[in-house]
Amino acid sequence: MELSFKWRRLESFTALEIYEVIQAREAVFVVEQRCAYHEADGADPHCWHLCMHLDGEFAAYARVVEPGISYDEPSIGRVMTLEKYRHLKLGRALVAEAIAFTEARFPGRGIRIGAQAHLQHFYGSLGFEPVGDVYDDAGIPHIEMLKAPVARPA
C-alpha cells in the first residue's frame, strides 16, 4: 500500500484532475451527506489543494485556505476520503499532512477549522481545541476549532 501526497494550486490542475476533485467532493459532501450548499464557494483560488493517492488512485482530499479568506488564521477544510477507502482510516494521515504543510507555510499563525461536530474528538486528538458553540452549517452541526500556533525556537 503506497500513499502519496500532492500539493498544488488550482491553476496547476489539469481539467481532468480538477474534475476528479470536484466529483469526489460532490460525492461526499453533496450526495452522501445530502447537503445543498455551494460546493464551489469561491475559496478554491485562494487555497492549496492536497490530493492523496493510494497505489496511484485518488483516495482523499483536503484544502488549506489562506489566512484572511475564511478566518484570520489559515484553515483546513473540505477534508474527505472516498467511501471505498474509508475502512483504511486514511483521514489521520491526510490531516497530519495538511497540518504539517499549514504550519510550515504559515508559521506562527495557528489553524482554525469549522469541523463537523461529531469529529470533534478526532480533531482534538490532532491538537485542535473547540472555540465557541456548535452551530448549523447546511443542516450539519459544526464547531469551530483552533490549533494553537507552534512555538518557534528562540
The pLDDT tens digits for 83-141 are 899 999 899 999 999 999 999 999 999 999 999 999 999 999 999 999 989 998 878 89
Q: Would you say residue 71 has pLDDT above 70?
A: yes
> Does residue 72 belong to any structural domain of this protein?
yes
Please name the residues in contact with 34: beta carbons below 8 A apart, sequence gap of 6 or more: 139
Q: How many domains does the chain have?
A: 1
Residue 151 in any domain: the answer is no
Residue 117 within a domain:
no
Residue 124 lies in a domain: no
pLDDT above 70 covers what percent of the chain? Answer: 90
Domain contains 138: no
Global pTM reads: 0.89
Domain enclosing residue 101, as ranges: 3-110
Q: Is the pLDDT of residue 37 over 70?
A: no
What is the pLDDT, as a whole number, of residue 43? 87
What is the enclosing helix (H) or strand (E) of 94? helix 91-105
The CATH number assigned to the domain holding 61 equals: 3.40.630.30
